């Protein structure tokens, strides 16, 4: 007992073990290690190899060697710029159509589906249970000459308008830009719907009620509350749709013609048929740079720079 008669002072806490403290701080980095190794082996190293290939010269018989021949980029862009522009046009059109179709669907799932929400979500992702190739081939049957879709478009005189715009040819839809865009839109629509649904589902319904209490119409509520709060989903959905669509070649190969070739088709042909590896690698890097530029501008104009 102390001289003042009070309770004894509590013992001082034991100093932390230094080794245990260091290990605790290193745990997050150890958890990141598998992902870092995966990106290093399957992304960074292939990118370095691809960059090396793009500045090589030679042939398959003589072998390729690095000569820092940067003119390959200039020649590739000069020879295949129509395919680049066509890819951006088709991908941009498909992305816009996915947004116009996907936003109402995501809104319905988030706010109106009720107990049917999970079922509708399963229906949205159900196409992923089927091969991408089979889904694309199915559109050849859907858009076949004389089929129900083509006959309906003819009855509505839609083909007259699209033929004037150069998207169809006469009474045909297959082997036209419209067929390629339809395939892209269908195949990448789930990539738009899911981010939109996630963003809309986070919106507090009480905000809509508050807007109604302030005598806001449904259109005003959507414009001032719903749309601004769902912009992260819009940006994420457009990126997840535009980026793979711009490099796609399956839809252009199966649903299009020689006049609808996209840059992905050119890259595939240069790699597997022509065997001109430097040109194919240069085209890949040019496409990557163009997509990165478009994505950066889109994000900054959308006011969502924090997504970068």
pLDDT (average), residues 45-54: 93
Classify residue 186 by burial, with Cβ atoms within 10 Å: 0-12, 13-18, 19+: buried
pLDDT attached to residue 19: 61
- Which structural domains are found in the chain, ordered by start? 86-307 (1.10.3720.10)
User: Residues 132-161: pLDDT tens digits?
Assistant: 999 999 999 999 988 889 999 989 988 888
Cα dihedral angle (232, 237, 240, 245), rounded to 10 degrees?
Answer: -140
User: Residues 89-116: pLDDT tens digits?
Assistant: 999 999 999 999 999 999 999 998 888 9
pLDDT attached to residue 5: 56
In three-state secondary structure terms, 59 is strand
Q: Are strands 56-59 and 63-66 parallel, antiparallel or unpaired?
A: antiparallel
Tokens linked to 159: 């083909």
Residue 307 clears pLDDT 60, i.e. is over it = no
What percentage of residues in the chain have a pLDDT greater than 90?
65
In three-state secondary structure terms, 143 is coil
pLDDT attached to residue 1: 47
Residue 12 clears pLDDT 90, i.e. is over it = no
User: Residues 284-301: pLDDT tens digits?
Assistant: 999 999 999 988 888 887
> Which residues pair with residue 66 across a beta bridge?
56
Looking at per-residue confidence, does 16 or 270 come out higher?
270
């Amino acid at each position: 007992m102390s001289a003042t008669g009070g309770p004894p002072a509590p013992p001082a806490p034991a100093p932390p073990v230094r080794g245990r403290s260091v290990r605790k701080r290193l745990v997050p980095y150890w958890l990141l290690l598998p992902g870092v190794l995966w990106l290093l082996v399957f992304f960074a190293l292939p990118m370095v190899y691809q960059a090396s290939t793009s500045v090589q010269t030679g042939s398959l018989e003589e072998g390729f060697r690095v000569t820092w021949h940067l003119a390959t980029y200039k020649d590739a862009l000069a020879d295949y710029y129509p395919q680049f522009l066509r890819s951006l046009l088709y991908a941009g059109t498909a992305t816009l159509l996915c947004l116009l179709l996907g936003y109402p669907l995501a809104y319905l799932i988030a706010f109106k589906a009720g107990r049917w929400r999970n079922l509708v979500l399963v229906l949205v992702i159900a196409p992923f249970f089927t091969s991408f190739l089979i889904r694309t081939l199915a559109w050849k049957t859907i858009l076949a000459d004389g089929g129900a879709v083509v006959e309906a478009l003819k009855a509505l005189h839609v083909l007259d308008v699209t033929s004037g715009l150069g998207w169809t040819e006469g009474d045909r839809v297959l082997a036209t830009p419209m067929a390629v865009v339809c395939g892209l839109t269908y195949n990448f629509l789930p990539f738009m719907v899911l981010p939109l649904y996630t963003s809309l589902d986070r919106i507090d319904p009480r905000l809509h009620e508050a807007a109604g209490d302030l005598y806001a119409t449904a259109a005003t509520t959507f414009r001032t509350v719903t749309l601004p709060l769902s912009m992260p989903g819009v940006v994420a959905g457009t990126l997840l749709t535009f980026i793979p669509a711009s490099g796609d070649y399956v839809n252009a190969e199966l649903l299009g013609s020689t006049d609808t070739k996209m840059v992905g088709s050119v890259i595939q042909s240069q790699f597997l048929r022509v065997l001109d590896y430097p040109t194919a690698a240069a085209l890949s890097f040019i496409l990557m740079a163009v997509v990165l530029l478009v994505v950066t501008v889109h994000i900054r104009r959308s006011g969502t720079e924090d997504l970068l």
